[in-house]
Amino acid sequence: MSVEIYAREALRNIPQILTQLDRNPHSPTYGCFDRNFWHYKILDFPSGMSQEFVWPVALAYQADLPYNSFYQQPALRDWCEAAILFAARSAHSDGSCDDYYPYERAGGAGAFSLLACLETYNLLGFDNAEMLEFFRKRATWLAHHEESGRLTNHHALIVLCLELAGRLLQTEEWAESKTKRLRKVLQWQHSEGWFPEYEGCDPGYHTMTLSCLARLHELEPDERLKQAIERAVSLASEFIHPDGSYAGEYASRNTYNFFPHGFELAGKWLPEALEISDRFLTGLRAGLGPCYSDDHIIGHHSWNYLLAWRDAVPQRPDRNPRPQGRTWLRGANILIDRREDCELYIALNKGGVFKIFRHGSLAASDTHLSLRVRNEGALRNAVGHIISDYDVSVEQDLITISGHLHWAKQKEMTPMRMLILRAVMLTGGRFFPDLIRKLLQTILITGAKKTPYTFRREFRWINGAWEITDTLDGEGWDVVEAAGIGGSQTSIYNVMSRTFQAGQLQPWFDITDDIRKLQPGHPYTLKRLL
């Protein structure tokens, strides 16, 4: 299968990426990729993460393809130089950068943008002392930075940055930090093969970690890395759906991420990795790839796709038949059941959020019950898809999950909240950025409060199909304004979630009228055969 579609998809994004760039050499923000800052002026600081966009531009400059109008265009090289210099000049004195608010000193933004600048510097053959000094400062800051939350992909990115910076600057300055952080990444890998992201397993971010580890192994072969990559590839193979789509809302961070570069690198010695990439390519050709053309996140997949095309393995393995049987990832709390022509993916720790595929196509995506409820003088959202400890029973032909619905996190930024955050960060908060980050993670991402509503979701295998029975009970139905079940509803904040994917075209399943007909004390029951 041709991997050139990776390049085509990425090159389509280059005009949008260049639109984000201040391309005026006489502008004080020349080289800035944050259009909200330099053009619209609706932000009071530039996001350091946006400078990551320099890498796909550099890769487009080098991509020798007949339809690539950006190949070897001198302007692109000039703009890449300006972008690295802007990253250097807009950074804090310690080399760190911000992403969402001033003085945030964001580890992820710092690592992604440094990786992009390092790779671009090497790719385009720059020779600039100011850039090199910036790389040294940023790498030193990353080497000592510890962020709140367990985000393995960030740690893997930092290890790769330290390796590349050390090679470029010909120093062992960060060797100890690099070794300790890599050891942590490998220790964090679960025996099932996945790397933790906040509250569990997210197969999407897992592929970013895999990309970093595969690149590290490419630079310096290591048996520990090889074994970790083998386990990671095996885990990823469970989440490539029969239609070529990958992961989704049943994972810890609700993403459809698929970063193929690591699979191409590992595929040089592990054919199973290429089979996963080829299955994803099938979905991409069918229009089932996720859309990450958001102005803030368009860069990640663009550079990774171009690298996957550039480093693709020419000889592809034959595909094996789809596996059959049941895979219960107890650590990840995800159960996958494949029998006859049906594949079922269930998040046991998210109340039974599921996807069902039949005859190789998506039959249903379900992110659980959702109620809009009048509560304490306000409309609140009670949902069944929050990660929590539910009562779970798994038998061969019967799976049940029960527990409470939880209140969704739906905090909005208001002028007053924005002023308070700015005031905090411009005073004492600037000295404790990780504490602020931890507080925001608690507000927007982790933790959940139970509602008075309880549910029971039952999956029963009957005559070649799954019968799903939902039972919902509560203190009263008169306070319910609306109710339904969506195919892609999520609540926690995650930068890479809530992107569009073709499987989300299924309509919202509205059950409001049925709920309103219920008498007090009577539970609601819904049966579906899928």
- Decide if pLDDT at 222 tops 90: yes
Q: Do β-strands 509-510 and 334-339 pair in parallel, antiparallel, or remain unpaired?
A: unpaired
Report which of residues 430 and 24 the model is more confident about.
24
Residue 193 has a pLDDT of 98
- Residue 73, SS3 per DSSP: coil
> Residue 141 contacts by C-beta under 8 Å, 6 or more apart in sequence?
94, 95, 96, 105, 110
pLDDT at position 426 over 80: no
What is the model's pTM?
Answer: 0.95
Strands (E) located in 143-234: 196-197, 200-201
pLDDT per position as a tens digit, 72-100? 999 999 999 999 999 999 999 999 999 98
pLDDT value, residue 472? 97
Angle at 45 between CA 43 and CA 49, to 5 degrees: 100
Q: CB atoms < 10 A from the CB of 330, how many?
A: 12
For residue 311, which amino acid is it? D
* pLDDT value for 196: 93
Contact 237, 244 (CB under 8 A): no
The number of CA neighbours under 13 Å toward the Cβ of 423 is 6
**280 phi, psi to nearest 5 deg:** -65, -40
Q: What is the pLDDT of residues 299-319, one digit of tens each?
A: 999 999 999 999 999 999 999
355: which strand partners?
Answer: 345, 365
pLDDT band (50, 70, 90) for residue 340? very high
- The rounded distance, in Å, linking the Cα atoms of 139 and 253 is 27
For the segment 384-388, the average pLDDT, to the nearest whole number, is 94
Task: Please say whether the beta carbons of 54 and 90 come within 8 A.
Answer: no
> Contact at 8 Å (CB) between 466 and 358?
no
Instruction: Give the model's confidence band at 412: pLDDT under 50 very low, under 70 low, under 90 confident, else very high.
Output: confident
DSSP lists the bridge partners of residue 488 as none
pLDDT digits (tens, 9 = 90+) for 278-297: 999 999 999 999 999 888 89
What average pLDDT does this structure show over 323-332? Answer: 96
Dihedral angle of Cα 385, 189, 270, 278, to the nearest 10 degrees: 20
Residue 249: partners with Cβ closer than 8 Å, 6 or more residues away: 347, 353, 365, 367, 385, 488, 489, 490
What value does the mean pLDDT take over residues 230-253?
A: 97
Range 333-361 average pLDDT: 97
**Can you tell me the mean pLDDT for 345-351?**
97
Please report, rounded to a whole number, the percentage of residues in the chain having pLDDT higher than 90.
84
If 0-12 CB within 10 Å is exposed, 13-18 middle and 19+ buried, where does residue 146 land? Answer: exposed
Closest CA to 257 of 189, 325, 211, 311: 211
* Beta-bridge partner residues of 449: none
Domains and CATH numbers, the chain: 4-310 (1.50.10.10), 326-409+445-529 (no CATH)
Mean pLDDT over 437-463 rounds to 83
- Chain segment 26-81, per-residue pLDDT in tens: 999 999 999 999 999 999 999 999 999 999 999 999 999 999 999 999 999 999 99
Closest CA to 460 of 471, 449, 469, 451: 469
Query: Where would I find the H helices in 33-93?
Result: 35-38, 54-62, 74-90
The whole-angstrom distance between residue 67's C-alpha and the CA centroid of its chain comes to 30
Report d(CA 32, CA 384) in Å as an integer: 42
Give helix then strand counts, H and E, for the chain.
17, 16
pLDDT at 495: 83
- Each residue's pLDDT tens digit, 104-124: 899 999 999 999 999 999 999
Q: What is the pLDDT of residue 349?
A: 96
The fraction of the chain above a pLDDT of 70, given in percent, is 98
Is the predicted pLDDT of residue 181 greater than 70, yes or no? yes
Residue 1: its pLDDT value, please? Answer: 56
Confidence of residue 135 (pLDDT cuts 50, 70, 90): very high
pLDDT of residue 445: 60
Q: What is the pLDDT of residue 50?
A: 97
Q: What would the pLDDT profile of 482-527 be if each residue is shown by its tens digit?
A: 999 999 999 877 788 889 999 999 999 999 999 989 988 899 999 9
